[in-house]
Amino acid sequence: MSYLEIKSLSSFYGKAEALSNVSLSVEKGEIIAIVGANGAGKSTLLDSIMGMVKQKGTISFDDKTISGKSTSHIVKQGIGYAPERFSLFPYMSVKDNLLVGAFTAREKTKDNLAQVYSLFPRLAERETQETATQSGGERQMVSLGRALMSSPKLLLVDEPTIGLAPKVCNEIAVSLRRMRDDFGLTVVITEQNANFAMTLAERIYVLEAGKMQIEGTVEELKSDNRLIEAYFGT
């Protein structure tokens, strides 16, 4: 069984089906990207893994079934989530926003905070700044840092580069790669920016209107010209 395994997942908002029969598997230590346009279902897929959306199908992580479980249970199993638009507390400091992520791993707070500050030295320098006054890139760092405060083994990141300048996208890519290489995390991101996805991930899934259309390694996707034209521009 794969580290994260999603089988025949359908997700619903009321009666509307936002994901239809989606399957996906992630091996330990991989970085994978789910690529799709606005409304494709990227956030719904990550929210579904976290148990936040009504769903059918099965999801397992680290050999345990997590579908049907509460979000706090899923976080305790070792899944961290940096959601879309960060949802930080704007009038709280960087440090207090990070501490919000620590509720399931209180005994490791000091070590995790040190790890976050080693990944993002800028956050250590700005520990007391309110996140409302930070740049988009800094807020993304706080969001990633907050997810790390729960001591996750698998990190889910919804659109890490949205609204960020290319230079900042690179910094985020470097930090995500370090989380895998130096801290042993498995990483799943969603992206509209297919080029960013291809430079960071080893494997890509393409989601279109709630359905999984294509799956392959970056090498495989790059060698298919029709696919590149259809999904990734030229």
Ligand X SMILES: Nc1ncnc2c1ncn2[C@@H]1O[C@H](COP(=O)(O)OP(=O)(O)OP(=O)(O)O)[C@@H](O)[C@H]1O
Binding footprint of Mg ion on the chain (CB under 5 A): 42-43, 84
- Please report, for residues 7, 86, 122, 211, the alpha-carbon distance to residue 199 in angstroms, rounded to integers and kept in the order given: 27, 23, 24, 24
**Rounded CA gap, 133 and 56, in Å?**
41
Interface with ligand X includes 38 (CB under 6 A)?
Answer: yes
Report what 39 binds from ligand X, Mg ion, none; CB cut-off 5-8 Å by kind: ligand X
User: Considering the rule CB under 6 A, would residue 42 count as an interface residue with ligand X?
Assistant: yes
Nearest to 129 by CA among 141, 118, 114, 119: 141
Q: Does 160 bind ligand X (CB under 6 A)?
A: no
Is 43 an interacting residue with respect to ligand X (CB under 6 A)?
yes
Closer CB to ligand X, 39 or 68, in the complex: 39
Q: Taking CB within 5 to 8 Å according to partner kind, which of Mg ion, ligand X, none is near residue 103?
A: none
What tokens does 115 get? 């790890």
Using the contact rule CB under 6 A, the part of the chain among 32-40, 67-75, 141-149, 214-222 near ligand X is 32-40
Q: Which residues of 182-212 are buried (b: 16+ CB within 10 A; e: fewer)?
A: eeebbbbbbbebbebbbebbbbbbbbbebeb
Binding site for ligand X (CB under 6 A): 13, 16, 18, 36, 38-44, 84, 192
